[in-house]
């Protein structure tokens, strides 16, 4: 799938989408890098995800620990 994070908002992804949460984290990481020309910190990635309506289960920003559990980028 070649869509950027801005094009694949959680509410717009159809049921049964092949995108996993790790895919979404990666797309956000890549979009941040493309936009800013540098790798985001965990805090910057969390804020970027929140701006794109990707949050934790309780609606709060995704924690940096969640990124670590998901593996690299």
| Token code pair at residue 1 | 């799938």
- pLDDT, tens digit (0-9, with 9 covering 90-100), for 14-24: 455 688 888 88
- pLDDT, tens digit (0-9, with 9 covering 90-100), for 30-53: 999 999 999 999 899 999 999 988
Task: Return the DSSP state at 39.
Answer: P
Q: Print the domain residue range for 34.
A: 25-73
pTM above the 0.75 mark? Answer: no
Domain count, the chain: 1
Is residue 8 in a domain? no
Is residue 69 in a domain? yes
DSSP calls for 4-71: -GGG--GGGSPTT-S--HHHHHHHHHHHHHHHHSSPPPHHHHHHHHHHTT---TTSSPPPHHHHHHH-
Query: How far is Cα 27 from Cα 30, in angstroms, rounded to an integer?
Result: 5
């Amino acid at each position: 799938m070649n869509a950027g994070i801005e094009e694949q908002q959680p509410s717009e992804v159809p049921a049964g989408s092949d995108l996993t949460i790790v895919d979404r984290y990666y797309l956000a990481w890549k979009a941040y890098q493309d936009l800013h020309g540098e790798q985001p910190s965990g805090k910057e990635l969390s804020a970027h995800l929140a701006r794109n309506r990707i949050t934790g289960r309780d609606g709060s920003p995704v924690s940096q620990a969640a990124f670590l559990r998901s593996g690299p980028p």
